[in-house]
Structure 1
């Protein structure tokens, strides 16, 4: 009888070890808490980016409309690029407010903000690609391309098509994002509409592939092809520096766009396909999830960078900006000396100005 009573004690001891091991496994794999960075950094950073970006992008749009008068296709694309930045910028105060309150968003606001951000981002990618193509076409074909490049109607039609494509590409975000109640709060989540087949995770994979294709691969491919043609042309014939001004400016805009949005799209791709890249272990998953959020915050700063590039690389933009500042200071502008500022592209050997 004494031996019999020892058996249950042994069984209890074995079960206790099993339970401890399971508990230790679950405690060793914590998930990344995005609310920590959101609450500490995002409200102040997004508010600053919004104020700076609203000022410099508004000035850029005003200079394009008031002084350049949208006489050429490249100026139309630059204007649409500024509008895309403003579209993305307008969402930042709401994201900052949501971050300071734990990421809480109602359903209509969630849908509107996600849609506006996506339309602005995709629009920027499209117009960067169009602006790059336009600048290289003017440089390569010279006066043969001048007649088509001068047609404002052509630029307007292409711009409308680009915005329409951006809206169509954004439809998945409009359909898949909604707010769900959790712990008596509403947060912005990715979900699958009831009328679409498949699991939610499969649609999340599709959205990640779409984002990488449109925002990263398309602009990168356009830049590589145009740059390769440019280097080939430089070897075969000498080109004056003034003819390369637009190419330099547009290339800088595209490179900065890719450098700031590229890391986010790459980390998002790795996060979505963790199992395929053997990143599903605890430590790797934690680091990848953290990298996605950090790179997203950094990429969001890009919407206020383009006008700064105009000031640094475009002498004509600086002249118009000084002219605008003098008018705002109630100082009568000096009469222009020499050739007019708005000399057509083709008459300047297709030199680049805003």
Structure 2
């Protein structure tokens, strides 16, 4: 009896199965839940360590001051270039007509800069219709200037190789027809940007910035890719390819002639400066749009690409005041007419005071 009492009685098998199930559930369930909680915390930390690029800081400090200088210089230069090209130099030559249209393209682009400067200084707060109008003016000026640069290169190429027989006999009419066609094409090129434009909402307000690719809808990836490629192809790649082909054919003949052929030098200088100023922005925009295809989707690369898009866009917007300076430097006839025009304006008050005496 004593031995029997010393031996503990074994629990029933049903109780052992129940305890086994409880121990199994107790040991396995917390491990699974603990793993899931760790993964969620890590992902949350990764998302927090990737802050977006703030375009307001640089825009509010640099854009108003820089664009004020660009507006004054661009308006002064292009408004002086229009009467000189139209009246003093005449529109008998084809490049004069195209240069005159380039001045109008710069003025069209300049019309949007005061509003972009105001938007940058006030946090980008503009209405949706106003932002659409600014997009229309700036994009139309950009595309039309790119197309007229292509026409300038092709026209110089045809003149150099005496291939003007392919064009109509009355060149002035062809210049007018081609100019109207360029403005129509530039307007059509802007329509997708206006049709699929979606303003960015932040703090219950519309955000409209020049430096940010504002015409790219955030939700539609295909349209975002299409609009970025459209801007790069029409505004950069086509003028670059035409310039490369024509310069490769004209390099040796122009080197033999030396510096006597000023129209060729002026045309190539205007186109090269345009490409140098808009090329970095188009490259940065394509890399930012297609960053997943270039393995640039990490936080550091995305932050740098967004900053590059903003800085290169601000620099490219200053191109509209460079073309008149190139005319003054490289065209002696333009410089002479400019001096004559300035002398006439300076002598007008003196003549008005001398007449009554």
- Structure 1 length-normalised TM: 0.83
Q: How far does the alpha carbon of each residue in 1:277-307 deviate from its partner, in whole angstroms, 9 at most, with x for none?
A: 0000110111111101110000001110000
How far did residue 233 of structure 1 move?
3.5
Most deviating of 179-188 and 92-101: 179-188
Unmatched tracts of structure 1, length 5 or more: 193-198, 333-354
Q: Contact 2:194/2:215 (CA < 8 Å) preserved in 1? A: no
User: Pairwise CA RMSD of aligned residues?
Assistant: 2.8
In structure 2, the CA distance between the partners of 1:190 and 1:326, relative to structure 1 (3 Å rule), is closer
Superposed structure 1 runs of 4+ greater than 6 Å apart: 6-16
Instruction: Say whether 1:29 aligns with 2:47.
Output: no
**In the alignment, what sits opposite 1:49?**
70
Q: Does 1:175 align with 2:189?
A: no
Pairwise CA distance, 1:23:
3.9
How many residue pairs get aligned? The number is 320
**Which residue in the other structure is 1:276 paired with?**
293
- 1:221 paired to 2:241: yes
The one-character-per-residue Cα deviations of 1:301-329 (angstroms, maximum 9, x if unpaired) are 11100000111111111100000011001
Judging changes above 3 Å, is the alpha-carbon distance between structure 1 residues 162 and 48 closer, same or farther for their aligned structure 2 residues? same
Of 112, 137, 149 in structure 2, the residue corresponding to residue 128 of structure 1 is 149
Q: 1:14 to 1:134 in 2, by over 3 A?
A: closer
Contact 1:137–1:145 at 8 Å: present in 2 too?
Answer: no
Distance 1:14 1:204, change over 3 A: closer
Cα 1:104–1:274 shift into 2, 3 Å: same
CA gap 1:11/1:225 in 2 versus in 1, 3 angstroms: closer
- Provide structure 2 residue ranges, at least 5 long, that are not aligned to the other structure: 1-22, 209-213, 350-357
Partners of 1:141 and 1:176 in 2: CA distance = 45
Q: 1:138 aligns with which of 149, 159, 163?
A: 159
Whose Rg is larger? 2
Query: C-alpha displacement at 1:200, in angstroms?
Result: 1.4
Q: Which residue of 1 aligns with 2:15?
A: none
TM-score, length-scaled by structure 2: 0.82
The DSSP-based 3-state class of the residue aligned with 1:312 is helix
Q: Secondary structure at the match of 1:32?
A: coil
Partner of 2:257: 239
Mapped to 2, the partners of 1:11 and 1:223 lie a distance apart of 64
1:194-205 matches, cutoff 5 A:
200-205=220-225
Paired residue secondary structure (1:102): coil
Are 1:138 and 1:149, in contact at CA under 8 Å, matched by a contact in 2? no
Q: Is it true that 1:290 corresponds to 2:290 in the alignment?
A: no
Change (3 A) 1:31 1:246: same
